[in-house]
Amino acid sequence: MKIINVENLWKVYNKRKEALKGITFHVDHGEVFSLLGPNGAGKTTTVKILSCMIKPSQGKVEVLGFNVPQECNKIREKIGVVPQEFQGFSDLTAEENLRYFVKLYNGDESQVEELMKTVDLLEYRKTRYRNLSGGYKRRLAIACSLAGDPKLLFMDEPTVGLDPRSRRDLWDLITEVKRRGVTVLLTTHYLDEAQRLSDRVGVIFDGKLVRLSSPRELMEEFRKQTLEEAYLALMELLGDTS
Protein backbone atom coordinates (compact mmCIF):
# COMPACT_ATOMS: atom_id res chain seq x y z
CA MET A 1 0.00 0.00 0.00
CA LYS A 2 1.23 3.46 -0.89
CA ILE A 3 1.66 5.54 2.24
CA ILE A 4 2.98 8.48 0.26
CA ASN A 5 2.20 9.20 -3.37
CA VAL A 6 3.74 12.15 -5.15
CA GLU A 7 3.10 12.96 -8.81
CA ASN A 8 4.76 15.78 -10.68
CA LEU A 9 5.29 17.93 -7.59
CA TRP A 10 6.47 21.50 -8.08
CA LYS A 11 7.38 24.05 -5.46
CA VAL A 12 8.10 27.63 -6.37
CA TYR A 13 9.13 29.97 -3.53
CA ASN A 14 8.30 33.67 -3.86
CA LYS A 15 7.09 33.21 -7.44
CA ARG A 16 10.62 32.73 -8.74
CA LYS A 17 12.71 30.14 -6.88
CA GLU A 18 11.90 26.70 -8.32
CA ALA A 19 12.90 24.41 -5.48
CA LEU A 20 11.11 21.33 -6.87
CA LYS A 21 10.68 20.82 -10.60
CA GLY A 22 8.18 18.01 -11.00
CA ILE A 23 9.18 15.09 -8.79
CA THR A 24 7.32 11.76 -8.79
CA PHE A 25 7.74 8.93 -6.30
CA HIS A 26 5.86 6.84 -3.77
CA VAL A 27 6.66 5.25 -0.43
CA ASP A 28 5.24 1.86 0.51
CA HIS A 29 3.84 0.88 3.89
CA GLY A 30 6.58 -0.19 6.29
CA GLU A 31 9.50 1.12 4.25
CA VAL A 32 12.41 3.24 5.35
CA PHE A 33 12.79 5.63 2.42
CA SER A 34 15.70 8.08 2.30
CA LEU A 35 15.95 11.28 0.31
CA LEU A 36 19.54 12.02 -0.64
CA GLY A 37 21.10 14.93 -2.45
CA PRO A 38 23.40 17.92 -2.07
CA ASN A 39 22.54 21.03 -0.04
CA GLY A 40 19.82 23.04 -1.68
CA ALA A 41 18.57 20.10 -3.77
CA GLY A 42 15.04 20.25 -2.34
CA LYS A 43 14.99 17.56 0.36
CA THR A 44 13.67 19.71 3.18
CA THR A 45 11.14 21.33 0.85
CA THR A 46 9.81 17.86 0.02
CA VAL A 47 9.61 16.84 3.67
CA LYS A 48 7.88 20.10 4.59
CA ILE A 49 5.23 19.64 1.90
CA LEU A 50 4.60 15.99 2.80
CA SER A 51 4.31 16.84 6.49
CA CYS A 52 1.87 19.69 5.79
CA MET A 53 4.15 22.52 6.87
CA ILE A 54 4.14 24.29 3.51
CA LYS A 55 1.90 23.99 0.44
CA PRO A 56 2.81 22.47 -2.91
CA SER A 57 2.69 24.82 -5.90
CA GLN A 58 1.55 22.14 -8.32
CA GLY A 59 1.14 18.39 -8.58
CA LYS A 60 -0.62 15.59 -6.74
CA VAL A 61 0.44 14.76 -3.18
CA GLU A 62 -1.26 12.05 -1.10
CA VAL A 63 -0.20 11.08 2.39
CA LEU A 64 -1.92 8.14 4.13
CA GLY A 65 -4.57 8.33 1.43
CA PHE A 66 -5.39 11.99 2.08
CA ASN A 67 -4.73 14.93 -0.20
CA VAL A 68 -2.14 17.60 0.60
CA PRO A 69 -2.93 20.36 1.36
CA GLN A 70 -6.75 19.95 1.37
CA GLU A 71 -6.86 17.22 4.03
CA CYS A 72 -3.86 18.20 6.11
CA ASN A 73 -5.91 18.26 9.32
CA LYS A 74 -6.42 14.52 9.00
CA ILE A 75 -2.80 13.92 8.07
CA ARG A 76 -1.24 15.93 10.89
CA GLU A 77 -2.74 13.81 13.64
CA LYS A 78 -1.35 10.61 12.12
CA ILE A 79 2.24 11.64 11.39
CA GLY A 80 5.31 12.45 13.45
CA VAL A 81 7.94 14.97 12.40
CA VAL A 82 11.53 15.43 13.52
CA PRO A 83 12.36 18.76 11.86
CA GLN A 84 15.87 19.74 10.83
CA GLU A 85 15.83 22.29 13.64
CA PHE A 86 13.87 20.96 16.61
CA GLN A 87 13.51 23.50 19.41
CA GLY A 88 12.32 22.33 22.79
CA PHE A 89 11.23 24.65 25.59
CA SER A 90 14.60 25.55 27.06
CA ASP A 91 13.50 26.02 30.68
CA LEU A 92 11.42 22.85 30.80
CA THR A 93 12.98 19.50 31.59
CA ALA A 94 13.21 16.69 29.06
CA GLU A 95 10.25 15.01 30.71
CA GLU A 96 8.14 18.18 30.76
CA ASN A 97 8.86 18.81 27.09
CA LEU A 98 7.78 15.30 26.21
CA ARG A 99 4.65 15.50 28.38
CA TYR A 100 3.63 18.64 26.50
CA PHE A 101 3.64 16.70 23.22
CA VAL A 102 1.97 13.61 24.66
CA LYS A 103 -0.85 15.81 26.00
CA LEU A 104 -1.27 17.48 22.63
CA TYR A 105 -2.13 14.04 21.29
CA ASN A 106 -4.31 13.21 24.32
CA GLY A 107 -1.87 10.56 25.50
CA ASP A 108 -1.58 9.63 29.18
CA GLU A 109 1.25 9.58 31.67
CA SER A 110 2.18 5.98 30.87
CA GLN A 111 3.05 7.04 27.35
CA VAL A 112 5.52 9.61 28.68
CA GLU A 113 7.32 6.83 30.59
CA GLU A 114 7.13 4.48 27.65
CA LEU A 115 8.60 6.98 25.19
CA MET A 116 11.41 7.98 27.54
CA LYS A 117 12.27 4.31 27.77
CA THR A 118 12.11 3.88 24.00
CA VAL A 119 14.64 6.64 23.34
CA ASP A 120 16.72 5.90 26.44
CA LEU A 121 16.13 9.26 28.06
CA LEU A 122 15.19 8.25 31.61
CA GLU A 123 18.55 9.21 33.06
CA TYR A 124 18.12 12.82 31.90
CA ARG A 125 14.41 13.21 32.49
CA LYS A 126 14.91 15.97 35.07
CA THR A 127 17.50 17.87 33.02
CA ARG A 128 16.37 21.14 31.50
CA TYR A 129 16.27 21.17 27.71
CA ARG A 130 18.99 23.80 27.43
CA ASN A 131 21.39 21.62 29.42
CA LEU A 132 20.90 18.46 27.36
CA SER A 133 23.69 17.40 25.00
CA GLY A 134 23.03 17.38 21.25
CA GLY A 135 22.46 13.63 21.27
CA TYR A 136 19.87 13.81 24.02
CA LYS A 137 18.12 16.80 22.45
CA ARG A 138 17.74 14.67 19.34
CA ARG A 139 16.43 11.72 21.37
CA LEU A 140 13.88 14.03 22.91
CA ALA A 141 12.89 15.34 19.48
CA ILE A 142 12.29 11.78 18.36
CA ALA A 143 10.34 10.89 21.50
CA CYS A 144 8.14 13.95 20.90
CA SER A 145 7.61 12.93 17.27
CA LEU A 146 6.44 9.50 18.42
CA ALA A 147 3.76 10.95 20.70
CA GLY A 148 0.37 10.00 19.31
CA ASP A 149 1.63 6.74 17.78
CA PRO A 150 2.28 8.00 14.26
CA LYS A 151 1.91 5.63 11.32
CA LEU A 152 4.43 7.68 9.39
CA LEU A 153 7.54 9.42 10.64
CA PHE A 154 9.47 12.18 8.87
CA MET A 155 13.05 12.81 9.94
CA ASP A 156 15.05 15.60 8.33
CA GLU A 157 18.77 14.96 8.86
CA PRO A 158 18.17 13.34 12.24
CA THR A 159 21.81 12.52 12.96
CA VAL A 160 23.54 15.80 12.06
CA GLY A 161 25.92 16.89 14.80
CA LEU A 162 25.70 13.66 16.75
CA ASP A 163 28.74 11.78 17.97
CA PRO A 164 29.29 8.33 16.42
CA ARG A 165 27.84 6.52 19.41
CA SER A 166 24.62 8.53 19.41
CA ARG A 167 24.31 8.03 15.66
CA ARG A 168 24.48 4.26 16.13
CA ASP A 169 21.87 4.44 18.89
CA LEU A 170 19.65 6.40 16.56
CA TRP A 171 20.05 3.82 13.83
CA ASP A 172 18.88 1.18 16.29
CA LEU A 173 15.97 3.38 17.22
CA ILE A 174 14.93 3.85 13.59
CA THR A 175 15.18 0.10 13.07
CA GLU A 176 13.01 -0.47 16.12
CA VAL A 177 10.42 2.04 14.96
CA LYS A 178 10.33 0.28 11.59
CA ARG A 179 9.91 -3.08 13.30
CA ARG A 180 6.79 -1.70 14.95
CA GLY A 181 5.33 -1.08 11.51
CA VAL A 182 5.97 2.65 11.25
CA THR A 183 6.91 3.94 7.79
CA VAL A 184 9.92 6.27 7.89
CA LEU A 185 10.93 8.96 5.43
CA LEU A 186 14.29 10.45 6.23
CA THR A 187 16.81 12.75 4.66
CA THR A 188 20.49 12.37 5.31
CA HIS A 189 23.95 13.32 4.10
CA TYR A 190 25.44 10.23 5.67
CA LEU A 191 25.55 7.57 3.02
CA ASP A 192 26.63 4.80 5.39
CA GLU A 193 23.49 5.53 7.36
CA ALA A 194 21.32 5.55 4.24
CA GLN A 195 22.84 2.28 3.05
CA ARG A 196 22.23 0.55 6.33
CA LEU A 197 18.72 1.81 7.03
CA SER A 198 16.98 2.35 3.72
CA ASP A 199 14.84 -0.04 1.74
CA ARG A 200 14.89 2.50 -1.07
CA VAL A 201 16.49 5.86 -1.73
CA GLY A 202 15.51 8.80 -3.89
CA VAL A 203 18.27 11.11 -5.05
CA ILE A 204 17.24 14.74 -5.57
CA PHE A 205 19.44 17.03 -7.60
CA ASP A 206 18.53 20.59 -8.44
CA GLY A 207 14.84 20.04 -7.71
CA LYS A 208 14.57 16.89 -9.79
CA LEU A 209 14.50 13.27 -8.78
CA VAL A 210 17.44 11.71 -10.60
CA ARG A 211 17.43 8.21 -9.11
CA LEU A 212 14.87 6.05 -7.34
CA SER A 213 16.09 2.60 -6.32
CA SER A 214 17.35 0.37 -3.56
CA PRO A 215 20.85 1.13 -2.23
CA ARG A 216 21.97 -2.16 -3.79
CA GLU A 217 20.70 -1.21 -7.26
CA LEU A 218 22.48 2.13 -7.12
CA MET A 219 25.71 0.40 -6.07
CA GLU A 220 25.35 -2.08 -8.92
CA GLU A 221 24.69 0.66 -11.45
CA PHE A 222 28.05 2.26 -10.67
CA ARG A 223 29.80 -0.99 -9.76
CA LYS A 224 30.69 0.26 -6.29
CA GLN A 225 30.92 -1.50 -2.97
CA THR A 226 29.29 1.24 -0.94
CA LEU A 227 26.38 3.61 -1.43
CA GLU A 228 28.71 6.51 -0.68
CA GLU A 229 30.97 5.65 -3.62
CA ALA A 230 27.98 5.10 -5.89
CA TYR A 231 26.47 8.42 -4.82
CA LEU A 232 29.74 10.26 -5.46
CA ALA A 233 29.98 8.65 -8.91
CA LEU A 234 26.42 9.80 -9.63
CA MET A 235 27.22 13.35 -8.52
CA GLU A 236 30.25 13.36 -10.79
CA LEU A 237 28.07 12.18 -13.66
CA LEU A 238 25.69 15.06 -12.96
CA GLY A 239 28.54 17.54 -12.75
CA ASP A 240 27.98 18.50 -9.13
CA THR A 241 30.79 20.82 -8.10
CA SER A 242 29.77 21.43 -4.50
β-bridge pairing 183-187 and 66-67:
unpaired
Residue with smaller CB distance to Mg ion, 37 or 215: 37
| Among 30, 40, 59, 69, interactor with ligand ADP by CB under 6 A | 40
Stretch that binds ligand ADP, among 10-18, 69-77, 102-110, 211-219 (CB under 6 A): 10-18
**Nearest-angstrom CA–CA distance, 16 and 9:** 16
Q: With binding defined as CB under 6 A, does residue 43 bind ligand ADP?
A: yes
Residues 6+ apart with CB under 8 A from 23: 6, 8, 9, 42, 46, 59, 204, 207, 208, 209
Residue 113 CA, chain-centre distance (Å), reads 24
Among 37, 150, 158, 202, binds ligand ADP (CB under 6 A): 37
Determine contact, residues 23/14, Cβ cutoff 8 Å: no
Instruction: Please say which residue, 17 or 60, places its beta carbon nearer to ligand ADP.
Output: 17
Residues 6+ positions from 169 with CB-CB distance below 8 Å = 120, 135, 139
Instruction: Answer yes or no whether residue 44 interacts with ligand ADP by CB under 6 A.
Output: yes
Residue 44 as a binder of Mg ion (CB under 5 A): the answer is yes
Indicate whether 59 belongs to the interface with ligand ADP (CB under 6 A): no
Specify the 3-state DSSP secondary structure of 124: helix
Least CB distance to ligand ADP at residue 37 (A): 5
Per CB under 6 A, the list member of 32, 34, 42, 194 interacting with ligand ADP is 42
136 to 78, 86, 142, 236: CA distances (angstroms) = 25, 12, 10, 36
The binder of 242, among ligand ADP, Mg ion, none, by C-beta within 5 to 8 A per type, is none
User: How many residues of this chain interact with ligand ADP, rule: CB under 6 A?
Assistant: 12
Q: How far is the CB of 3 from ligand ADP (least distance, A)?
A: 21
Residues near Mg ion (CB under 5 A) are 43-44
